[in-house]
A = this chain, B = another copy of it.
């Protein structure tokens, strides 16, 4: 697996790239685009003065502004990197500044709702190619970003029917240039796939951390001390950005509720096996789940070091 971006391109893919929202994802895109020379100029647009100050200090963009309509002027590629719930109002705000032929994209974790929010605000003479990079960490803000965040990760494009193939190809080239594998699917299918691979895992992690915090008899300090038994793994994704995740659940309700229904059914079956002492059912279930992790490791989507490589074996263990 490569751990470095390639060399800067000899000629940029875009003339002027506007990134709206300079959090973990937006600031990582700014870093990656600059490292690979993907845009002749980068404009950073953010409503927060604190964020704009950090972006200035980190020198992540050529132009930094809080004015969305102004910021997107003359941009040929605009990427919305704001929480899913803010996409509609940002699209409305940028509309007066949009240049003819501009390509609009985003990085939202939900796609059906994003298309419904953004599309009505766009004039006919621009292109809309929604995108979702399946990458991130549990940290937030412009300081948390880094240029290799998207390396060897998948980015899913969901261009609406009738989208200019040339626009889709340019967005694909952008993501490939920062190291991603690109796949295309419909917004509806995306939302179901991500409901199981991302949204439900986050919901469950948030939930168990809350359940543990509410126990009367087991103290918070005991939960923390003995968390290495498995619990601490869940706290990582339960430390993710609350605004982002609130919006994901509000905007992918149907798919999340369906996957949650399946999860709960399956959990009831395990619960019954425990109550009735059905060791064979438990053993059979626990055996088949091992293979899934092996496949994820083989595909380069996970480290194969034990314990996520938190502690590697010392060198002198090769006796």
With a cutoff of 8 Å between Cβ atoms, the chain B residues found around residue A144 in the complex are 306
* Residues A238-295 near B (CB distance < 8 A): 238-240, 242-243, 245-247, 249-250, 253, 256-257, 259-260, 262-264, 266-267, 270-271, 273-275, 277, 279, 282-283, 285-290, 292-295
Nearest residue, chain B, Cβ from A307 = B137
With a cutoff of 8 Å between Cβ atoms, the chain B residues found around residue A58 in the complex are 319
Q: Give the complex CA separation of A293 and B147 in angstroms.
A: 25
With a cutoff of 8 Å between Cβ atoms, the chain B residues found around residue A3 in the complex are 311, 314
- Which residue from B146, B202, B289 sits with its C-beta under 8 Å from A206? B289
Number of interface residues of A (CB under 8 A): 119
Contact A260 B271 (CB under 8 A): yes
Q: Give the complex CA separation of A211 and B227 in angstroms.
A: 25
With a cutoff of 8 Å between Cβ atoms, the chain B residues found around residue A194 in the complex are 226, 229
A156 in contact (CB, < 8 A): yes
Known contacts A274-B257, A282-B250; decide if A289 and B213 are in contact (CB<8 Å).
Answer: yes
Interface stretch of the complex, out of A38-46, A66-74, A162-170, A215-223: A215-223
With a cutoff of 8 Å between Cβ atoms, the chain B residues found around residue A213 in the complex are 288-289, 292
Contact A308 B230 (CB under 8 A): no
A contact patch SS = helix
Nearest residue, chain B, Cβ from A317 = B146
Interface stretch of the complex, out of A92-100, A116-124, A297-305: A297-305
With a cutoff of 8 Å between Cβ atoms, the chain B residues found around residue A200 in the complex are 208
Contact B286 A206 (CB under 8 A): yes
Known contacts A286-B246, A292-B238, A310-B308; decide if A226 and B267 are in contact (CB<8 Å).
Answer: no
With a cutoff of 8 Å between Cβ atoms, the chain B residues found around residue A271 in the complex are 257, 260
A37 in contact (CB, < 8 A): no
Contact A237 B242 (CB under 8 A): no
A135 in contact (CB, < 8 A): yes
A236 in contact (CB, < 8 A): yes
Contact B296 A227 (CB under 8 A): yes
Further contacts, 14 of them, CB under 8 A, given A109-B229, A196-B211, A260-B271:
A156-B226, A196-B231, A197-B226, A201-B231, A202-B230, A203-B274, A204-B204, A211-B266, A212-B292, A230-B237, A238-B289, A242-B290, A264-B267, A303-B310
